């Protein structure tokens, strides 16, 4: 897909035609490590934020993954906090507004569909 085709592409998630070519940061799990790749060329939907990669970008990401993301190739490191979802008491989750429960159910459905 060339740049002209990408600029006129329609987002398959929300069907918006408002897209742009950009460079993005993407995170991937590799074994037990979270790795981040910066400056990935992507088509980005301005409406829903979904990111799409062309075949060339996917091949490069696949090659990086096949090489195991060696530490010596990293350009820098990020420090990321980790939270435990199960630490919230049941009574606290009962106090959530109805829209929060609805959002959580929608998000869970989207995650299952995309997995």
Go through 25-43 and write b for each residue having 16 or more CB atoms within 10 A of its CB, e for each that does not: eeeeeeeeeebbbeebebb
- The answer on pLDDT for 108 being more than 70 is no
Q: With beta carbons less than 8 A apart as the criterion, state whether 25 and 35 touch.
A: no
Is the per-residue pLDDT at 68 higher than 50? yes
Segment 83-103 shows an average pLDDT of 65
Provide the mean pLDDT of the chain: 81
The answer, yes or no, to whether residue 109 has pLDDT greater than 60, is no
Q: Which domain holds residue 60?
A: 3-114
Please give the pLDDT value at position 40. Answer: 96
CATH code: domain of residue 26: 3.10.20.860
Reported in sequence order, the residue ranges of 1-115 that DSSP labels E, i.e. its strands, are: 19-30, 33-45, 51-52
Q: What is the pLDDT of residue 100?
A: 61
Least confident of 8-17, 59-68, 83-92, 99-108: 99-108
Number of independent structural domains in the chain: 1
The pLDDT of 2-31, averaged and rounded, is 83
């Amino acid at each position: 897909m060339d740049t002209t085709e990408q600029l006129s592409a329609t987002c398959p998630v929300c069907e918006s035609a408002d897209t742009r070519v950009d460079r993005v940061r993407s995170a991937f799990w590799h074994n037990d490590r979270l790795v981040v790749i910066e400056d990935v060329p992507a088509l980005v939907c301005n409406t829903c934020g979904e990111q799409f990669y062309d075949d060339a970008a996917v091949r490069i990401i696949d090659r990086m993954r096949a090489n195991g993301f060696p530490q010596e190739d990293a350009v820098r490191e990020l420090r990321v906090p980790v939270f435990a979802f199960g630490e919230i008491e049941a009574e606290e989750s009962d106090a959530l507004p109805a829209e929060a429960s609805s959002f959580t159910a929608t998000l869970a459905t989207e995650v299952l569909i995309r997995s």
